[in-house]
Amino acid sequence: MKAVGSLPRWLWPLVAALILVALPALLPRYQLRLVNEALIFSLYAVSYNLLLGYAGLLSFGHAMFFGVGAYATGLLVGKGAAMPFFGAVALATLVTTLVGFAVGLLLLRVRGTPFALLTLAFNALFYAVAIKWSDLTGGDDGLKLARPAIDLGITQIDTNVHAVFYYITLLAVGAALLYCWYFTRTSMGRTVLLMRENEERLRFVGYNTNISRLILFTLTGGLAGMAGSFYALFFSFVSLEAISIDMTTRVLLMTFIGGTGSFLGPVLGSGVFIYLQDYLSDLTDRWPLIMGLLFILMVLFAPGGLSGIIKNVAGYFVRTDRTKG
């Protein structure tokens, strides 16, 4: 798959970026909002896939970070704190990173199945805290917030304009995704891959896999928190849903449907999920059931997800050029 036609590889991301930048001019407002939502969930799903696809760590508790990021943002821009836009996002991300570190210290004492189980239990704990601590989280009523304007000194940018918020999301999420991609290329990111493949050998060579795992867990926690922060700003509202097991299920479905085997799989997955949800929820109230069935069918018959299917199909149409290896 070195070249489709004869275009260089670096052209594709450029084309994709140009299309994304042009979208506000091309799409009606409702469609733009869907793309915006999909972008936010892309970050959430990519951060999840760094755990699941890259490190082979199955977590059922990713929503605790997403939720903490969302609630932190809700508190920072509302309830008298009134932080500026990027300050709130940065602080929420930082808080979630610290939470990720603390939770990781405890959870990463175990591996494999017990790890999966504990993440679910911890998510339940965070959810319980969010319900009980209603002075802070608003309990069942949730938190309302107003998107702060961005103050440039000379002029203010109104973030309530759809296109403006879209560009901010694109910029921030795009930068975070680029960072994730860069991370998978660093020696740290490579270590994570090796850890999945053969941890014992890696330890023999002299790597401290516990520290690598903790760093990765902390990083993905922070990224999920950042996604949660944008989620809160996007809806101008945080409810218990953000920290519930449903939010974990959602990221799991997105990531898996998109495919855990490639970096962009989860991005594709979140796009498909958001659009499918938008389409199905118009037709039936039972759309989660359809999503669940889709997920089970993919686990059974297409464990590589959509990106796996695409790779397979594309494999049939690419000129076979075996001599080059």
Partner 1 sequence: MQEAAVFFLHGLAYAGLLFLVSSGLTLVFGMMNVLNFAHASFYMLGAYFAYSLLLYTGNFWLALVASPLALFVVGALVERFLLRKVHELGHLHELLLTFGLAYIIQEGVKWLWGTNPQAMGMPSYLAEGVNIFGVTYPVYRLFVVGVAVGLGLLMALVLFTTRVGIIVRAAVDDHDMVSALGIRVPLVFMGVFAFGAALSGFAGVIAGPLLTVFPGMAHTILVDAFVVIVVGGMGSLGGAVLASFIIGELQSFGVILFPKFSLALIYMLMALVLVVRPEGLFGERQ
Closer by beta carbon to partner 1, 76 or else 253: 253
Burial class of residue 283 in the structure, from the number of CB atoms within 10 Å of its CB (0-12 exposed, 13-18 middle, 19+ buried): exposed
Residues lying near partner 1 in the complex (CB under 8 A) are found at 52, 56, 58, 60, 106, 109-110, 112-114, 116-118, 120-122, 124-125, 128-129, 132, 245, 249, 252, 256, 286, 288-289, 292-293, 295-296, 299-300, 303
- DSSP E strands: which ranges in the chain? 143-144, 150-151, 156-157, 237-238
Classify residue 259 as left (phi > 0), alpha (psi -120 to 50) or beta.
Answer: left
Smallest distance from partner 1 to CB 257, Å: 11
Smallest distance from partner 1 to CB 299, Å: 5
Smallest distance from partner 1 to CB 105, Å: 10
DSSP 201-268: HHHHHT--HHHHHHHHHHHHHHHHHHHHHHHHHHHTEE-GGGGSHHHHHHHHHHHHHH-TTSSSHHHH
Smallest distance from partner 1 to CB 199, Å: 14
Closer by beta carbon to partner 1, 9 or else 111: 111
Q: Report in angstroms the alpha-carbon separations of 156 from 56, 78, 164, 294, 301.
A: 45, 19, 12, 45, 52
Closer by beta carbon to partner 1, 117 or else 215: 117
Smallest distance from partner 1 to CB 117, Å: 5
Closer by beta carbon to partner 1, 235 or else 295: 295
Closer by beta carbon to partner 1, 53 or else 78: 53
